[in-house]
A and B are shown apart, each in its own frame.
Chain A
Amino acid sequence: MKLDKNIIFKNWLILIAIVLLSVAPFMMNNYWIDVFFFFGIYALLGLSLNIVLGEVGLFDLGHVAFMAIGAYTTAILNTKFGIPIIILLPVSALAAAGFAWLVCSPIIHLRGDYLCIVTIGMGEIVRLTLINNPFGITGGPNGVFGIDFPSLGNIFMIDNSTEFYFLIWIVVGLTILALINLQRSRIGRAWNCIREDEIAAESTGIDVRYYKLLAFILGAGLAGVAGNIYASKLMIVSPESFTFMESCMLFCIVLIGGMGSIPGVLIGAAAISLFPEVFRTFAQYRMLIFGAAMVIMMVFRPGGIWPRKRGAVEFKSLLLKAGRDNV
């Protein structure tokens, strides 16, 4: 009976969230619609990092690099060759995923803190490469501008805030559905097993290397999608959007909400994107407040605000595990 009530409560919550999200843009001005658009972007990025960090427990502090690859793929192919944004959506996802495969294959065996440092390096190398304008295609520090809106011939064109709002949230919705199915499959289980105990996972018959790479590739692909939508919304991409700080923000989203928890990621994304808007006056203390919030969270609610039901995964215990590899 108790379980039933829980499910009903959850379904109601989901329904209310969907209704609120679909009427919201008609009750807000463009400024707030844009704020919610970026909430959606952060949600998508958070979901993508959650695969790597939350589900598999891999410390990825360079995740925004995958978004950058997606965004620049879209920007360059669109401005140079005029390929429509819609077609570039899967292309950007594939480019980011392929990049993840290339870069992560040689480092995937690294454990915990070592992997973390290498991903930071990867993120910085990508950003510096973009600044240095290789082959004159990335536009250096100025970036690439004049990116089209997503359109399908004369049939439709996404060119205002409300339409972008729906675009991102529909993508987020579909992603959530896909991720829920993945969580409940043998792949999701394999990911969680690796997070819990790598050696036990391998000895239980799970190809640890394969599933870690898979997580990076899927996570990067989703970040690439976010990059595509972001590029066409802003119509410009530049290296300063893809700094180490952004990767840290994404890390915070997953930690604040609860690792491996989809509602948790949404809450985390809301906190990161809405909070600074609500408390405009404190804007310059933003980082200070986030820092303090993180410390307080780690001490009092190490599993996150909304941990995944079956048991909170504590960041601390993951850190401890990172060093442990004896049999």
Chain B
Amino acid sequence: MFKDNSVNMEMSVDTNKINENINSDKKEALETQELTKRFGGLIAVNNFDLKVNQGEISSLIGPNGAGKTTVFNVVTGIYQPDGGRVIFKGEDLAGNKPHQIVAKGIARTFQNIRLFSNMTCLENVMSGQHCRGSAGVWSSVFKSSYQKGEENRIREEAERRLHQVGLWKFRDELAKNIAYGSQRMLEIARALASNPDLLILDEPSSGLNDKESEDLMKFLKIVLKEDLTILLIEHDMNVVMGISDWVTVMDEGKKIAGGLPEDIYHNPLVIEAYLGKEEGEEL
């Protein structure tokens, strides 16, 4: 058994190298270098390197508590890193507040859906356009023609996004009153409404049934064509294998593997991280 495993490991190292080479001649949309985030004594993210290629769907996977959401929170500026860098479009994002990062082109969704519950679906999506507008207090109070034009543009863009995710019929419903699956899509629509270059989704398919997951995958492949890059955290292996161009695996804050989905699927390190050593041997 032991022998078998080590052979496998060597092979996987080789494929990793080849993959890195394939990877290296593409342009990166997002890169984290030696990213570290601590919570007291706990190192949630530990020297973590991540590369997300432009125009691709990348997945970040790992067991519960691996630090995936924390990586997202650092990238989107909710937490400041304790070490390392986040590079987006060649620029270090350090010190930016979350809303500034949205303006730079990264939009996100949350693991536990966070909508504006008492606002309508349309208003939720319109708020995504906020950072693309500039009307101030005076022009809003006096309804200047500039403000009216901008408001129309915001509304049109939001309506387009609502159509796109198939929630047009719920536009005047309060966000808290629509079904769970629809809420997930609404949150994605809100993120897309800011016209991001990079969309990051924290477990978008969790809580969705099989059909909804299917639809979500199709949808993501379609919006990807809008000059978008997608990074997602995902537990559902069907989704990961189905749409990812690249998969990064993390465990206990560290990166343990990165590669094409099929290689990751057979990588013993990954299987071990997910199942623990003993069970891993039984596989």
Binding site for B on A (CB under 8 A): 178, 181-182, 184-190, 192-193, 196-197, 199-208, 214, 218, 310-313, 327
Residue B6, interface by CB 8 Å = no
**B119 in contact with A182 (CB, 8 Å):** no
Contacts of B133 in A (CB 8 A): 186
| Total contacting residues, chain B, CB less than 8 A | 43
Contacts of A199 in B (CB 8 A): 78, 114
Q: Lowest 8 CB-CB distances: which A-B pairs, in order?
A: A205-B131, A205-B102, A185-B140, A196-B116, A200-B114, A311-B118, A202-B98, A178-B141
In the complex, which residues 121-137 of chain B have their Cβ closer than 8 Å to any Cβ of chain A? 123, 126-131, 133, 135-137
Contacts of B120 in A (CB 8 A): 310
Contacts of A178 in B (CB 8 A): 141
**A186 in contact with B78 (CB, 8 Å):** no
Contacts of B183 in A (CB 8 A): none
The listed residue (B110, B130, B135) touching A205 by CB distance below 8 A is B130
A207 CA to B136 CA, complexed, in Å: 13
**B110 in contact with A200 (CB, 8 Å):** yes
The chain B residue with its CB closest to the CB of A203 is: B98
Contacts of A214 in B (CB 8 A): 137
30 of the cross-chain contacts (CB-CB < 8 Å) are A178-B141, A184-B151, A186-B135, A186-B140, A186-B150, A187-B140, A189-B123, A190-B130, A192-B116, A192-B119, A193-B119, A193-B127, A196-B119, A197-B117, A200-B110, A201-B127, A202-B97, A202-B99, A204-B127, A204-B128, A204-B190, A205-B103, A205-B130, A205-B131, A206-B99, A310-B123, A311-B119, A311-B174, A312-B118, A327-B69
A257 CA to B118 CA, complexed, in Å: 17
Given contacts A181-B141, A327-B78, contact A206 B110 (CB under 8 A): no
**B135 in contact with A185 (CB, 8 Å):** yes
**A197 in contact with B137 (CB, 8 Å):** no
A218 CA to B150 CA, complexed, in Å: 23
The chain B residue with its CB closest to the CB of A314 is: B118
A41 CA to B150 CA, complexed, in Å: 35
**A310 in contact with B127 (CB, 8 Å):** no
Residue B76, interface by CB 8 Å = yes
Minimum distance in angstroms from B16 CB to a CB of chain A = 32
The chain A residue with its CB closest to the CB of B190 is: A204
A208 CA to B78 CA, complexed, in Å: 13
**A205 in contact with B76 (CB, 8 Å):** no
The chain A residue with its CB closest to the CB of B113 is: A200
Main secondary structure of the interface of A (DSSP, over half): helix
A193 CA to B176 CA, complexed, in Å: 14
Contacts of B176 in A (CB 8 A): 311
Residue B147, interface by CB 8 Å = yes
Contacts of A181 in B (CB 8 A): 140-143
Minimum distance in angstroms from A177 CB to a CB of chain B = 8
**A206 in contact with B130 (CB, 8 Å):** yes
The chain B residue with its CB closest to the CB of A214 is: B137
A280 CA to B135 CA, complexed, in Å: 48
Residue B194, interface by CB 8 Å = yes
A7 CA to B69 CA, complexed, in Å: 46
Contacts of A189 in B (CB 8 A): 119, 123, 126-127, 130
The listed residue (B73, B102, B137, B154) touching A204 by CB distance below 8 A is B102
Contacts of A312 in B (CB 8 A): 118
Residue B68, interface by CB 8 Å = no
**B154 in contact with A186 (CB, 8 Å):** yes
**B130 in contact with A200 (CB, 8 Å):** no
The residue in A200, A202, A206, A208 that gathers the most chain B C-beta atoms within 10 A of its C-beta is A200
A190 CA to B123 CA, complexed, in Å: 10
**B114 in contact with A186 (CB, 8 Å):** no
The chain B residue with its CB closest to the CB of A303 is: B118
Minimum distance in angstroms from A209 CB to a CB of chain B = 8
Minimum distance in angstroms from B157 CB to a CB of chain A = 12
Given contacts A203-B102, A310-B118, A311-B174, contact A327 B137 (CB under 8 A): no
**A200 in contact with B69 (CB, 8 Å):** no
Contacts of B126 in A (CB 8 A): 186, 189
Minimum distance in angstroms from A200 CB to a CB of chain B = 4
A310 CA to B119 CA, complexed, in Å: 7
The listed residue (A187, A193, A202) touching B116 by CB distance below 8 A is A193
Minimum distance in angstroms from B107 CB to a CB of chain A = 8
A189 CA to B108 CA, complexed, in Å: 19
A188 CA to B110 CA, complexed, in Å: 24
Minimum distance in angstroms from A199 CB to a CB of chain B = 7
